[in-house]
Structure 1
């Protein structure tokens, strides 16, 4: 059991005795920060909830989510997580809206957020599981993606100081609350920030440190790099910046995701070399300054007959091989070059069958109600994550992409930030992730209408551990790290 706070020493995370600790685990995505592909709704969390409450009324809405939050993480999950998987750390993504009411005072903190977060942290501590608190959303959005629960394609968080002030204030309150909790490994202040002027991010982290450290001098900061946790080029040297810090990357590989060509990873030397070079590029900062790295997100997505995929066994064999080869890189990936392993948190622990270590059973009430809808949503390409759009529908968007590319001079094709995004990606963000999904939310919410409280309880209970299936081969691979 923990006898003190974790801290950093060189490239390692260490315990109170100075012994290196490798944090190994997953993220509880889809829970206190909901994402569309994880539970099935289209679009963005807050819009989804607003539409659903109007459709079924406040009493049923509140009841459903009370049960959903209760069932999504229980002691049975923690027991499995610690004793069967051998994991020692859980990353907890949470939405700022659990603590801050956008319609009121941005600096008034709601106690309900602490109740929800405390429940998870407390269960984890009982089972010897560290937690990392991950603020996954901010007012205005800290990035351009749907997962920051901002239904636009701009990161307005960086344009309005009041938004930044409110989040600094929130982290101050979080620090006051958790400063003495040794089972909280540390704070992940912003998930995947993305701002064209990196200095804004660097300055924000420094300001956050300066206001939080006098309250909480002990907890580690897990700082994501810019442009979706991939870029530290503008960060100053650690000695002049923020002490007791782990620098976090996210290391997804395109080999682990579907593509319209249906190409699969073969494990060739060229492919393995690309996995390694991608990782090495992302940890250049950590290697240069000999500071710790934490891979806060990675992992393939998986096929299934419930999703309408052909040959899911063949596809998943290739995806498991991607994961194995990534883990081989991480097994000796310490920035010091000493051949020791890095800490990581795979994305993710639980979902409806796309990426989770555990997942909602196809025989559940959830699939009984939403199964046909999920197939329709997949064909329409409404989920950005692991997008698997029907080729016929995709042609409609490709025609528009071709039109735009033909009429915008090539030198401006990547003028918008993030510059790694293609016109095709921007078009998908605006047309499908945002606009189309806004319409689709109403059709999805209709499927909840008419259910009794008992039936809503059964729906939420689809996410209870005892009702889930387990992705056995994936879990075995992770256990062997």
Structure 2
């Protein structure tokens, strides 16, 4: 079974060879292949906790364009996209034995809201470059529409500034998304190093049926153009209970984050039987649909976040060790299930990435105080530690719950009152007000200075999270015997 770097050629005897779904496996030339890799990070779909800004991508881009002017703005973001992933990144990734990178993209690269359905070919410039670089080093890519028109979920990572997923309420948003996928399918239909398409990331349709209808529709549209590439189909909270028969040549996916990999867990992970059973049962629940229909499993996202010395946590290194142990347990579970996986994420400013912009880089030095302020305010949604603001929010949560008890069942109910309140007040209202402060750090920067800021994300200037990468490399080398003996 191929588990590490893909050694196979993409064609044989002049005939193009694509990965495809056969029974419970993703296969190449009829032989099973397990895709192991990462999400590239906040690159063609930026996220606040990944690159340090506040609010939502389109908001910070607008603020930066106002501060920098169009010429400097275009220069900075073109250099950022260039430096964020280059040949040295691909070479390093392949050296770990990993063979697949999931690439989140934002629809704004391909069309403008004020000029919809007009596909911007220049939006493919860096996507083509990275896909070709990955292919050079035997790495497959999965194109993931992380941000769709209207917002397929209600979070920052779909660049949605509201608390409503309007994608499901306005057909025009769905129509535009289909057009985008038709263009992407037309462009990549012959590229055998593209493992497949992830039409929507974490779509959160409260009624369930509208998402299923959209998947049926977009699958038909893509297949009229591209009959070969695998579709990787997401849901929100890994809920596939409403889905019927799987679509052809499709992999249904789950995201499998562990509460033991984040701040304020029930307890530190210590390999207790209860903790191990909790993770095994969680994975079984999330993959019930795949097992029922005897299809492949791809864990599209998972992985802990990490503490650092500046967090003010005395035992931060021990905490990180426990989170690495959570990762080891999950990888063992996936190996036993012969599941493909994509850890979140490859590169950031030091919160979760396999590598990250170093402390001495121009970008991190410029934003150091702002990053600390944002963390203390728990302004970002992802992996936040709200202990510094808990005393402010707890009375409000109790007041809201006593005034409107039905909020306990507000979708998604798993968030609880605190999740809904913090989202609206901190992650939307407060974060939007911090956008101008962030943009102000870039005021009056020269082109050379902007180049140095963007270059902070170049591989040569990044720091490796060594223990994480050693764990991933060890898993890429896991033998079939080791995999089957996992407990």
TM-score by length of 1: 0.94
Residue 26 of structure 1 contacts residue 90 of structure 1 at CA under 8 Å; is this kept in 2? yes
Residue of structure 2 equivalent to 1:421: 415
Q: Report Cα offsets for 1:411-441 as digits up to 9, x if no partner.
A: x133322222211101111101111011111
Kindly indicate whether residue 403 of structure 2 is the aligned counterpart of residue 393 of structure 1. Answer: no
Residue of structure 1 equivalent to 2:136: 126
What is the rounded CA distance, in whole Å, between the counterparts of 1:325 and 1:384 in structure 2? Answer: 25
Q: 2:398 aligns with which of 389, 398, 402?
A: 402
Residue of structure 1 equivalent to 2:424: 430
User: Does the residue aligned with 1:371 lie in a helix, a strand or coil?
Assistant: helix
Residue of structure 2 equivalent to 1:479: 473
- 1:69 to 1:308, Cα distance in 2 relative to 1, 3 A: farther
- 1:392 to 1:122, Cα distance in 2 relative to 1, 3 A: closer
Residue of structure 1 equivalent to 2:82: 70
What is the rounded CA distance, in whole Å, between the counterparts of 2:86 and 2:404 in structure 1? Answer: 53
- 1:114 to 1:461, Cα distance in 2 relative to 1, 3 A: same
Residue of structure 2 equivalent to 1:13: 26
Residue 307 of structure 1 contacts residue 374 of structure 1 at CA under 8 Å; is this kept in 2? no
What is the rounded CA distance, in whole Å, between the counterparts of 2:266 and 2:252 in structure 1? Answer: 35
Residue of structure 2 equivalent to 1:205: 215
What is the rounded CA distance, in whole Å, between the counterparts of 1:31 and 1:211 in structure 2? Answer: 27
Residue 260 of structure 2 contacts residue 266 of structure 2 at CA under 8 Å; is this kept in 1? no
Residue 185 of structure 1 contacts residue 220 of structure 1 at CA under 8 Å; is this kept in 2? yes
Residue 2 of structure 1 contacts residue 128 of structure 1 at CA under 8 Å; is this kept in 2? no
Residue of structure 2 equivalent to 1:337: none
RMSD between aligned residues: 1.2
Kindly indicate whether residue 98 of structure 2 is the aligned counterpart of residue 98 of structure 1. Answer: no
In the TM superposition, residue 311 of structure 1 has moved relative to its aligned partner by 2.5
Residue 53 of structure 1 contacts residue 61 of structure 1 at CA under 8 Å; is this kept in 2? yes
Moved more, 53-62 or 122-131: 53-62
Residue of structure 1 equivalent to 2:481: none
In the TM superposition, residue 402 of structure 1 has moved relative to its aligned partner by 1.1
Q: Report Cα offsets for 1:344-393 as digits up to 9, x if no partner.
A: 0000000010100001111111221011111111000001101023x342
Residue 76 of structure 1 contacts residue 465 of structure 1 at CA under 8 Å; is this kept in 2? yes
Kindly indicate whether residue 92 of structure 2 is the aligned counterpart of residue 88 of structure 1. Answer: no
Q: How many residues align?
A: 462
Residue of structure 2 equivalent to 1:252: 257
User: Does the residue aligned with 1:295 lie in a helix, a strand or coil?
Assistant: strand
What is the rounded CA distance, in whole Å, between the counterparts of 2:433 and 2:74 in structure 1? Answer: 23
In the TM superposition, residue 118 of structure 1 has moved relative to its aligned partner by 0.7
In the TM superposition, residue 58 of structure 1 has moved relative to its aligned partner by 1.5
Residue of structure 2 equivalent to 1:38: 50
What is the rounded CA distance, in whole Å, between the counterparts of 1:232 and 1:159 in structure 2? Answer: 21
What is the rounded CA distance, in whole Å, between the counterparts of 2:390 and 2:413 in structure 1? Answer: 23
What is the rounded CA distance, in whole Å, between the counterparts of 1:407 and 1:47 in structure 2? Answer: 33
What is the rounded CA distance, in whole Å, between the counterparts of 1:29 and 1:199 in structure 2? Answer: 30
Kindly indicate whether residue 10 of structure 2 is the aligned counterpart of residue 2 of structure 1. Answer: yes
Residue 308 of structure 1 contacts residue 375 of structure 1 at CA under 8 Å; is this kept in 2? no
TM-score by length of 2: 0.93
Residue 401 of structure 2 contacts residue 408 of structure 2 at CA under 8 Å; is this kept in 1? no
Q: Report Cα offsets for 1:64-122 as digits up to 9, x if no partner.
A: 1111000001001000001x211111100000000010122x21111122212111111
Residue 152 of structure 1 contacts residue 434 of structure 1 at CA under 8 Å; is this kept in 2? yes
Residue of structure 2 equivalent to 1:346: 343
What is the rounded CA distance, in whole Å, between the counterparts of 2:142 and 2:313 in structure 1? Answer: 35
In the TM superposition, residue 327 of structure 1 has moved relative to its aligned partner by 0.8
Q: 2:117 aligns with which of 83, 87, 107?
A: 107
What is the rounded CA distance, in whole Å, between the counterparts of 1:206 and 1:435 in structure 2? Answer: 36
User: Does the residue aligned with 2:26 lie in a helix, a strand or coil?
Assistant: strand
